[in-house]
Amino acid sequence: MDFRRHSRITKVYALGVGACARGAVDKNELKYVYHQDGQQFIQVLPTFASLLALEYSSHLADLPGLSYDPRLLLHGQQYIEIYRPLPSSCCVRFLITSSECKAAVVDYEVVSYEKESGKPLCMNRMSVYLRGAGGFSKSSQPISYAKYPANQILASKVPNRQPFTALLYRLSGDYNPLHSDPTIAEVAGFSRPILHGLCTLGFAIRAIIKCICGGDPNLIKAISGRFLLHFYPGETLITEMWLEGLRVLYQVKVKERNRTVLSGFVDISRLSSAL
């Protein structure tokens, strides 16, 4: 994938997850869409890494013995490791290191490298639910979130105390038919199109960067999120955060339904001096 001539995609992504939504000259977020104060490169939000591996979801049907209706695919869980700050312009190559089919759940992992230097940029590990699928054989070398270190698994409980901070967001649609086509949404069992979970994740992590990291996206080391419930564009999201050492626990709720749609954690390299 060549981003050398298309660095604007990083700006479009930032706008898509709400950067500068509260003001076109927001000094904390202008750096994601504009060369602010003479900076040489646009800064890239760490959740942009999720887009680098997203296209491989469309190739799941190529797995031997796997048959499913793509309209019924739902994203279940996302884990991202950031090895170094993402450049706004480069050529990227990918390596799918593992995949496993478990009943109607597929886990796979994609490592993204800068093609010219060969250095790794980030790793994505994803779980998707293929509703209506199943009955296929297990992988000869199965992988599972259970085989990874405990600190990479979403096992933390939300603390029974007031959140560190809370922010409200309004989200909008997505180009995936499930998120824009009422007919496709109805087939999938929703009353109307829903927002993609990765977009919700982008809003949540952007809030953490702004409130916990003092606006510095390079403090983010790893991101884990579990998509728990659908979100309808036009509803109000509340992002709650709890700081425990160098880990930020978070959950995102729909205000109107008082339901949690996303929860997870973010590991940071150090505390911001702004805290």
**Annotated catalytic sites, by residue?**
174, 179, 194, 197
Beta bridge partners of 227: 262
Is residue 184 within 8 A of residue 191, CB to CB? The reply is no
DSSP secondary structure, 12-53, as one string: HHHHHTTTTTT-TT-TTTGGGTS-GGG-SS----GGGHHHHH
For residue 259, give every residue at least 6 positions away whose Cβ sits within 8 Å of its Cβ, in sequence order, or none: 229, 253
Cα 57 to Cα 98: distance, rounded to the nearest angstrom? 13
CA 28 to chain centre: 21
Cα 18 to Cα 172: distance, rounded to the nearest angstrom? 9
Of 200, 169, 76, 58, the closest CA to residue 126 belongs to: 76
- Helix (H) or strand (E) segment spanning residue 52: helix 49-54
For residue 201, give every residue at least 6 positions away whose Cβ sits within 8 Å of its Cβ, in sequence order, or none: 47, 50, 78, 223, 225, 227, 262, 264
Record the tokens describing residue 238, joined without a space.
């509340």
Q: What are the b/e assignments for 239-262, b being 16+ CB within 10 Å?
A: bbbbbeeebbbbbbbbeeeeebbb
Cα 99 to Cα 126: distance, rounded to the nearest angstrom? 10
